[in-house]
Amino acid sequence: MNKEKFEEYLKKYPLSTLNYVIFEILYDEIVSGELRPGTKLNTAQFAEELNVSRTPIIDAYEKLKEIRFIETPANKSGYYVSPLYIDDFKNMMVVRGALEKTAASIVAGIHNMEHMDELYSLAEELQDLMINDRYFFQRDIENKFHSLIVKSSNNPYLIDAYESISKILYRHYYYMGHMTSQAPNMFVTKQAAYEHIAICKALKSGIPDMAEKAMEKHMNTAMVIYLLHADRWYK
């Protein structure tokens, strides 16, 4: 985080508070991998660089602590970028799987085809990226695909619940590209390339159980890919 970036984000969020702007900068730097897990955050340096008091910086830290992006270890002083914990990922995936399977079932049940063309387009793009081993371009499209299915459920409570984990999930997506690139020719990796299309077909079928099972299979594939390579990045 530097002065130039701070001014850029101030223009991006002209009506926002300083702590919100600083939160967004740090959030983006953490999910992009620019701020690595375990990095100590230098509050005094940030305050001097941005010409602000420490208060909005600390407020931003505390907000990031709420989504477990930052921690204050008992045996250390100060704030640190949280390591990636495999147990935390597993717990998040339990919730994610439940929400996305429910969303898929609902979308098929109400036969909401409003976003189907876009979903197919995203699925085809993901398939092309994964078949051609371009995994580092996958994150934003993957995130948009799954979020759009949840949105298509038209269930505000389900949408709110998904949004509550979306920031945490987005951080994990960064490492997904690294993990899939470690095993591009593994069957499970190539299998994942075709699962987005399978989900679209299941949604279009109008059969809730089929849609739920297609999503469950995809969640299981994602978990296998993570668990095969998580030890390199996760604790």
pLDDT of residue 40: 96
Each residue of 16-43: pLDDT tens digit?
999 999 999 999 999 988 999 999 999 9
Nearest Cα neighbor of 179 from 228, 126, 132 is: 228
pLDDT digits (tens, 9 = 90+) for 51-79: 999 999 999 999 999 999 999 999 999 99
- pTM > 0.85: yes or no: yes
- Reported as type and span, the H/E element at residue 82 is none
55: left (phi over 0), alpha (psi -120 to 50) or beta: alpha
H-assigned helices in 33-115: 43-50, 54-66, 86-110
Q: Are 169 and 142 in contact (CB under 8 A)?
A: no
Residue-level pLDDT, tens digit, the chain, 235 residues = 899 999 999 999 999 999 999 999 999 999 988 999 999 999 999 999 999 999 999 999 999 999 999 999 999 999 999 998 889 889 999 999 999 999 999 999 999 999 999 999 999 999 998 888 777 788 899 999 999 999 999 999 999 999 999 989 988 887 776 666 665 556 667 788 899 999 999 999 999 999 999 999 999 998 888 887 777 778 8
CA–CA gap between residue 127 and residue 80 (Å, rounded): 37
Q: Per the structure block, which two tokens stand in for 186?
A: 């593994």
The structural domains of the chain, ordered by start, are 3-81 (1.10.10.10), 86-232 (1.20.120.530)
Q: What is the pLDDT of residue 180?
A: 63
Q: Rounded CA gap, 171 and 118, in Å?
A: 24
Q: Which tokens belong to 87?
A: 């147990």
pLDDT of residue 229: 73
Bridge partners, residue 81, by sequence: 70
Query: Where are the extended beta strands (E) located within the chain?
Result: 70-71, 80-81
Residues 25 and 50: their CA atoms lie apart, in Å, by 12
pLDDT, residue 172, reads 85
d(CA 48, CA 27): 20
From 53, 51, 46, select the one nearest 25 (Cα to Cα).
46
